[in-house]
Structure 1
Amino acid sequence: MDLTAHIKALEESHLNTTIRTSGEALGQVLADDFFEFGSSGRIFYRQDFKDGAGNNQLTLHDWTMHHLDERAVLTTYRVMNHDSNKVTLRSSVWKHVETEWKLFFHQGTIVPATSS
């Protein structure tokens, strides 16, 4: 599998309900020094997800990847939260740690609802 497909699969994995609801499974995706600027405005760290990250139904759209160097990439995309009916802009920084790619940083920004 090429790097682009691999990173996209990893990105989709941490949005998967099975992974999100398992602190152990989510921990396999997150780097030890992971942190997140959540769409709520709160800052989260890896240990904040020891019991998982919720079970919302999420789908990824408009995904792109940008190489930062040979051991780091930036991904940007939109997520539709089907439970809250909200869209967020997302960005992630993935680092190659030892033999695996790990999620190092994540940010979610709510997209304001448009009025008709």
Structure 2
Amino acid sequence: MTHASCEPARITEPDLIAIRDDLASREPIFHRPEWGSTRADFERMIAEGFWETGASGRRYSRAFVLDELERRYASPPLDDDWESCDFHCQRLAADIYLLTYSLRQGARETRRSTIWQRAGSDWKIVFHQGTIVQDA
């Protein structure tokens, strides 16, 4: 089996393109100061049951992530040298969407998955995972 034959099609349905683009503007999560940079901002963005699996494979709770974000933003953030691309959106259930994409940070590349939930006119992050593709 060739590598190309094992790849999923990953085609965003036409009726989900606007949602894909809206969610893509929020990624990578926690690195978009226009969406928030304070603990209160992040608490509004993150669903109560949120957790994530980092690129290290470690699982992190909502409370841990909020503490880390508060620490990170306590001093001026460094310029992040990153590029995100290859966004795909899939509806999982009513008002629940999976957004996947690739993130390049210098020589490091990760595949990212975020589960988003529509919350009225806003969005909440339910789950996030990063998986390393290559690391220099």
TM-score by length of 1: 0.76
Choose 28-37 or 13-22, whichever is displaced more: 13-22
Higher percent of residues as strand: 1
- Which one of 71, 84, 105 corresponds to residue 60 of structure 1? 84
Structure 1 CA distance for aligned equivalents of residues 23 and 54 of structure 2: 21
Larger radius of gyration: 2
* Shift of residue 41, structure 1, vs aligned partner: 1.4
* Shift of residue 106, structure 1, vs aligned partner: 0.6
Give the AA of the match of 1:69: A
Q: Which residue of 2 aligns with 1:29?
A: 45
| Ranges in structure 2 where 5+ consecutive residues have no aligned partner | 1-17
1:70 aligns with 2:86: no
Alignment root-mean-square deviation, CA: 2.6
Q: Is the 8 A contact 1:95 1:103 kept in 2?
A: yes
TM-score by length of 2: 0.66
Aligned residues: 111
Q: Which residue of 2 aligns with 1:110?
A: 132
Higher percent of residues as helix: 2
Q: Is the 8 A contact 1:10 1:29 kept in 2?
A: no
Equivalent position SS for 1:6: helix
Structure 2 CA distance for aligned equivalents of residues 97 and 20 of structure 1: 17
| Ranges in structure 1 where 5+ consecutive residues have no aligned partner | none
